[in-house]
Amino acid sequence: MSDTIAAIATPLIPSAIGILRLSGPDSIAVVDRVFTPSHGAPMSQRPDRTLVYGALRDPEGQVIDYCLATVSRAPHSYTGEDTAELQCHGSPSALLLGLDALFSAGARQALAGEFTRRAFLGGKLDLTRTEAIADLIHAESPAAVRQAAGQLGGALAGAIEEIYQSLTDLLAHFHAVLDYPDEDIEPFQAAEISAVLNQAAAKLDRMAGSYRRGRALMEGIPCAIVGRPNSGKSTLFNALLGYDRAIVTPIAGTTRDTVEERLNLGSILLKLIDTAGLHAADDQVEQLGIERSRAAVDQAELVLVVLDGSRPLTPEDQDALSLGLSAPRCVIILNKDDLPAPDQAQLPELPRNTPVVRLSALTGDGVDQLELAMENLFPEDPGVRTGALLTNARQAQAAGRARQAVARAAQALDAGMSPDAVLTDVEQALTALGELTGRVVREDVTARIFERFCVGK
Ligand SMILES: Nc1nc2c(ncn2[C@@H]2O[C@H](COP(=O)(O)OP(=O)(O)OP(=O)(O)O)[C@@H](O)[C@H]2O)c(=O)[nH]1
Ligand SMILES: [Mg+2]
């Protein structure tokens, strides 16, 4: 039997509303001890989920705040236990006094994520939904919100469940075969089994493949700005961010280390990375910086190649161009458009559809065109439903293990192995899928998941 926990569920800053929250068997009794409705019966005699106005009092009976109380009895609550909420004014001091009153009345301080942990252990939420709650709280773009909300609605859990069920059916079939060893599997059945395995493998492939996009959604799409020294990378970085984040000087080699900032562009979130100018450097610090520039390009989904449009191209510009063109997406920027352009032809032959944008990072002219070009490079992928993307390494690893186990099962079947060999692999796939949703509980893993939550969630 669990005890009764309490916490302030809203940030401790002066604000309109602040919420005290309780979960556990004594929640409603505790509320009765600290809260007196203005009219009528105490909360223990009220129906679920009705708001009751009244006074929150300290152990001496002094009023701390006038607030709204509501209760939800097990199992119809967030945690599945008896729960209560007090919606107070958002006064940090009053909330702390209210919390003390709850402790005096028999509750104890909730740990970070303890409400959601109870919801998970009580079977109210699977692990993908608990992770969706953390993702929603931390979402930094509209697209990340939609993904998290979809996952909270069960999009990922549903997709996993489909695969889980098809493999469970297979397993049942195999058990039947093993129980009657004299009956060979009909060739027709073998083909059918193979089809189920292949279908599961294809779905898991797509799921595992969605991690790249899911991670970019949560952490920002890595976007590196490269070019030779003084081409105006840091000026552009600042122009895109809208404030002076990176140092800009007329001295070549100003930026020595990579500088990262998040940037919301339309519905996408970018992790924008300013880098050290590419050139043959003698200085050891500069060399290290340039190595980091190249590493940033390796990781990038999008590279912005910044060329100084007021000067002829140099071998360093060529280097930046070929580096940028090797990335999954690339935009070529002819910067310093406010200055006169040189006479000779500028750009070498580029792959078709490579966007080229002329702008002045200094005056800001044309930066909106660049933003548009960048946004257009990331259309919504209709292949994977929003909410069914994998968004963290834990999910990706478990899906990867399930995928490998299914592939092994398919191979074993093709190689004409005995049913129990195939069975073992299918069982391993089910275990991995069970870890993904939390059907199979691993304490170390769940502990890490709930660490991301704040107290009161
Ligand atoms: N006229 C003009 N000058 C610019 C423009 N963009 C940058 N500059 C100038 O070019 C010089 C170098 O700019 P930075 O942004 O520091 O260049 P960088 O590419 O980051 O240089 P490193 O960090 O040394 O690699 C500064 O004096 C800027 O003011 C532009 O659009 N027009
Ligand atoms: Mg710079």
pLDDT at residue number 189: 72
Per-residue pLDDT of 396-438, as tens digits, reads 999 999 999 999 999 988 888 777 788 889 999 999 999 999 8
Quickly list DSSP for 169-212.
HHHHHHHHHHHSTTSPPPHHHHHHHHHHHHHHHHHHHHHHHTHH
Of the listed ligands, the closest to the CA of 361 is 1
Of the listed ligands, the closest to the CA of 246 is 2
Residue from 359, 38, 30, 91 nearest 225 by CA: 359
Give the highest mean pLDDT range of 225-234, 278-287, 413-422: 225-234
pLDDT band at residue 446 using 50, 70 and 90 as cut-offs: confident
Residue 362 pLDDT more than 90?
yes
pLDDT at residue number 418: 75
Q: Is the CB of 361 under 6 A from ligand 1?
A: yes
Residue 149 pLDDT more than 90?
yes
Q: Is the CB of 141 under 6 A from ligand 1?
A: no
The atom of ligand 1 lying closest to the CA of 228 is: 25
Residue 285 pLDDT more than 80?
yes
Cα(445) to centroid(ligand 2), Å: 41
Q: What are phi and psi of 5, to 5 degrees?
A: -110, 155
Token pair listed for 362: 């200094």
Q: Which residues contact 418 (CB under 8 A, 6 or more apart)?
A: none
Cα(141) to centroid(ligand 1), Å: 30
Residue 185 pLDDT more than 60?
no
Residue 321 pLDDT more than 70?
yes
Q: Identify the burial level of 321 via C-beta atoms within 10 angstroms of its C-beta, where 0-12 means exposed, 13-18 middle and 19 or more buried.
A: buried
Give the mean model confidence (pLDDT) for residues 160-179: 84
Q: Residues 426, 175: contact at Cβ < 8 Å?
A: no
Q: Is the CB of 362 under 6 A from ligand 1?
A: yes
User: What's the whole-number average pLDDT of the chain?
Assistant: 90
Q: Whose CA is nearest to atom 13 of ligand 1?
A: 232
Per-residue pLDDT of 45-58, as tens digits, reads 999 999 999 999 99
Q: Whose CA is nearest to atom 1 of ligand 1?
A: 336
**With DSSP H G I counted as helix, E B as strand and the rest as coil, what are the percentages for the chain, rounded to 5?**
45, 20, 35
Higher pLDDT, 343 or 75: 75
Cα(308) to centroid(ligand 2), Å: 13
Q: Whose CA is nearest to atom 30 of ligand 1?
A: 336
Cα(408) to centroid(ligand 1), Å: 55
Find the radius of gyration of the CA atoms of the chain.
29
Residue 343 pLDDT more than 80?
no
Residue 345 pLDDT more than 80?
no
Q: Is the CB of 391 under 6 A from ligand 1?
A: no
Higher pLDDT, 282 or 34: 34
Give the mean model confidence (pLDDT) for residues 106-117: 95
pTM for this model (two decimals): 0.79
Residue 133 pLDDT more than 90?
yes
Domain 217-376 has CATH 3.90.228.20: no
Query: Helix or strand or coil: residue 121?
Result: helix
Q: Which residues contact 175 (CB under 8 A, 6 or more apart)?
A: 423
pLDDT at residue number 387: 82
Domain 5-110 has CATH 3.30.1360.120: yes
Same fold, 5-110 and 217-376: no
Residue 347 pLDDT more than 70?
yes
Q: Which superfamily does 129-210+387-451 belong to?
A: tRNA modification GTPase MnmE domain 2 (1.20.120.430)
Of the listed ligands, the closest to the CA of 370 is 1
Q: Is the CB of 275 under 6 A from ligand 1?
A: no
Reported residue count of the chain is 457
Q: Whose CA is nearest to atom 16 of ligand 1?
A: 248
Q: Is the CB of 260 under 6 A from ligand 1?
A: no
pLDDT at residue number 159: 94
Q: Compute the Cα dihedral for 448, 454, 456, 457 and give only its sign.
A: negative
Residue 111 pLDDT more than 80?
yes
Residue 384 pLDDT more than 60?
no
Cα(352) to centroid(ligand 1), Å: 28
Cα(268) to centroid(ligand 2), Å: 24
Cα(418) to centroid(ligand 1), Å: 68
Give the mean model confidence (pLDDT) for residues 169-180: 75
Q: Percentage of the chain surpassing pLDDT 90?
A: 69
Measure the CA–CA gap between 267 and 413, rounded to whole angstroms: 45
Sorted by where each begins, the domain ranges of the chain are 5-110, 129-210+387-451, 217-376
Pick the range with the lowest mean pLDDT from 43-52, 264-273, 312-321, 425-434: 264-273
pLDDT at residue number 445: 67
Q: Whose CA is nearest to atom 6 of ligand 1?
A: 232
Task: Please name the amino acid found at residue 393.
Answer: A
